[in-house]
Structure 1
C-alpha cells in the first residue's frame, strides 16, 4: 500500500516521503516497471535548513543507526555521512583532483567527475586574505555566490570544478579497495531553481530539470533515477534520497545544476552545489 506524507507551505516548502515513484523515473532497459523494486523516497525543498531538517532526520532513521563515522568496515548496520566541513568552523578552500579519494578509506566513498577537472570543498564566501581565494565566490571568480548559496551544515559546500557531474563509487571502509553496495544514498543541494515539468515563461512545454540523481547497481544497471525538488529564490536548500530493502546501489551519478559553476545564476543558468551526503553502510559485493 502506498504511504504518502506531503506538506506544502506558503513559503514554497515541500516535504515528501513515499514508497512509490514520485518524480520521473528511468528504468534499466532490461527491466519492465513490473520488475522494478520501488525504493522508499525522501525529498524536501525550501528557503532554510529547517525546511528540509525533518526529511533528513527521517532519512537518517531509515538508513539506520549509528553513524559509523570513520570506523573500519564492513559493519552490519548503520550509515555514513560526509558534510565537507573539516571539523566544523572551517573557512578554508580545499581543492582536490579527479578522482578524489579523501573519503575512500574512512567512509568508503570515491568521487569522480567525467566532465570536470576536480573538486572543491569551500564555504560560499570567505575573507580572501585570511582564507584565500575566498571560498566558492573567490575560486569561481563570482562574488554573487556568497549570496545565492547557503549551507545545511556550516560552513563548507562541495562541487566539481569545470563540470556539473559527480559520480560516487562505494567501497568497504577501511582500505583494500573492496567494491561495495549500499541500501541508499541521499544528498543536500543549495539553490536548485529549475524544476521538472512545465511552467510560465518564454519556454513552453516540458522543462528539463537542472539537478538529478541516478542510481546504478553492481552490473551497471540503472535501478532508479529522479530529479531533485526545486525551491524558488536564492540560497534555498533541497534534499533527495532513497532507501531500498537491500544493498543494491554500487554507484551514484549526480548532475548538479544546468551548467558548471562559474556563470551568474540566472534564467538560462541554474548554478547548484552540494552539501551533506548520507548513505547506508557499504557492504561488500557478494
Structure 2
C-alpha cells in the first residue's frame, strides 16, 4: 500500500502535480513543493519546510547537534559573485555543515547567472536563471547529476550520517514530470532521489515546473526519523553548455539546499 503523501505549498506558489515513486516500504513522510515566477512565490513552502525540519539553523557549528537543520545557499555569506572552478568532490561544506557533493562530470561550481554565461559560454544564461538567495547558484559541469552524502559536522567526513529530510530550490524548471507530449518516456525532468545507508532508494520526487524563464521551484521531503544517507539530483534534460537550441532543452540550475541535522549512523 502506498504511504500517504501530504503536500504543503506557498499560498502564492503555483503548485504542480506531484509524482513520487516509492522504491521500498518507508516510514511516514511529508512532501513540500511549490513553484512560481519569483522567490516570494515559493517562500511560504520553503519556510514551512524549515519549520518541519526544526529549529535552529545550526549554521557552521563544528559538532553534531541533537536537532535543527543545516542550510547551504552558495553565496559565501552574501555579496560574493566569484565563479568557483568546477571540482569534485565538492568538500567546501564537508566539515562545517556535514555535506559532501560529487558529480560524474568535470566538477561542481558556484556562479551568478552572469558567471554561468561565461562558465558555459552561453550568453542566454545571464537572463534565463534567477536566484532564491542572491547572488550565486550551484551546478554540475559536464553532467546533469549531483550526488550528496551526509556526515557528522566537525568530523571532516569520517563519521557517516543520515538526515530526516533534504530539499532544494531550482531555477528554470520547464518539465514537471517524466513524460513528454502525453507519452511515457524515460524520466528527463528535474528530480531528487533519496537513498538510505544501504543504498536502497527511498523515493524519487519530481520537481514542479515554474512558468517562464527564471522561475523558481522547490521540492523537499521530511521523514519521521533520520534515514536519508545520500541524495542524487538530476537537473533538466541536458547538460549546461553552449547550446544553440536551448529553447528545446530544459537546462536547470540549483540554489539553496536545506536538510536536517546530520545524525551519526549506527
* Fold conserved between structures, TM > 0.5: yes
What's the CA shift for 1:197? 5.9
Distance 1:106 1:237 in 2: 27
The answer (yes or no) to whether the contact 2:145–2:234 under 8 Å persists in 1 is: yes
What's the CA shift for 1:8? 8.1
Aligned residues: 260
Q: State yes or no: 1:160 paired with 2:160.
A: no
Matched with 2:121 is 141
Task: Tell me how large the CA RMSD over aligned residues is.
Answer: 2.1
Distance 1:271 1:2 in 2: 28
The answer (yes or no) to whether the contact 1:8–1:15 under 8 Å persists in 2 is: no
Q: Provide Cα deviations, 1:167-200, integer angstroms capped at 9, x if missing partner.
A: 000000002421000000000000000121667x
Decide which structure has the larger Cα Rg and report it.
Answer: 1
Q: State yes or no: 1:36 paired with 2:26.
A: yes
What's the CA shift for 1:5? 5.3
The answer (yes or no) to whether the contact 2:101–2:148 under 8 Å persists in 1 is: yes
Distance 2:122 2:44 in 1: 32
Matched with 1:128 is none
Structure 1 residues 197 and 179: CA distance shift in structure 2, 3 A: closer
Matched with 2:226 is 247
Deviates more, 1:270-279 or 1:209-218: 209-218
Distance 2:49 2:211 in 1: 23
Distance 2:173 2:68 in 1: 29
The correspondence for 1:223, drawn from 197, 202, 206, is 202
In the alignment, structure 1 segments of 5+ residues that lack a partner are: 17-21, 126-134
Tell me the SS of whatever aligns to 1:94.
Answer: coil
The answer (yes or no) to whether the contact 2:8–2:45 under 8 Å persists in 1 is: no
Structure 1 residues 75 and 204: CA distance shift in structure 2, 3 A: closer
Q: State yes or no: 1:69 paired with 2:59.
A: yes
Tell me the SS of whatever aligns to 2:113.
Answer: coil
After TM superposition, which residue ranges in structure 1, 4 or more long, deviate above 6 angstroms? 6-9
What's the CA shift for 1:4? 5.2
Distance 1:71 1:39 in 2: 27
The answer (yes or no) to whether the contact 2:42–2:216 under 8 Å persists in 1 is: yes
Distance 2:142 2:217 in 1: 22
The answer (yes or no) to whether the contact 1:124–1:146 under 8 Å persists in 2 is: yes
Matched with 1:25 is 21
Structure 1 residues 209 and 51: CA distance shift in structure 2, 3 A: farther
Distance 1:6 1:281 in 2: 22
Instruction: Report 1:53-132 matches (<5 A).
Output: 53-114=43-104, 116-125=105-114
Tell me the SS of whatever aligns to 1:25.
Answer: strand
The correspondence for 1:173, drawn from 153, 172, 180, is 153
Matched with 1:14 is 15
Structure 1 residues 217 and 197: CA distance shift in structure 2, 3 A: closer
Q: State yes or no: 1:183 paired with 2:164.
A: yes
What's the CA shift for 1:24? 3.3
Tell me the SS of whatever aligns to 2:126.
Answer: helix
The correspondence for 1:275, drawn from 251, 255, 258, is 255
Structure 1 residues 102 and 160: CA distance shift in structure 2, 3 A: same
TM-score normalised according to structure 2 size: 0.91
TM-score normalised according to structure 1 size: 0.85
The answer (yes or no) to whether the contact 1:192–1:271 under 8 Å persists in 2 is: yes
The answer (yes or no) to whether the contact 1:6–1:15 under 8 Å persists in 2 is: no
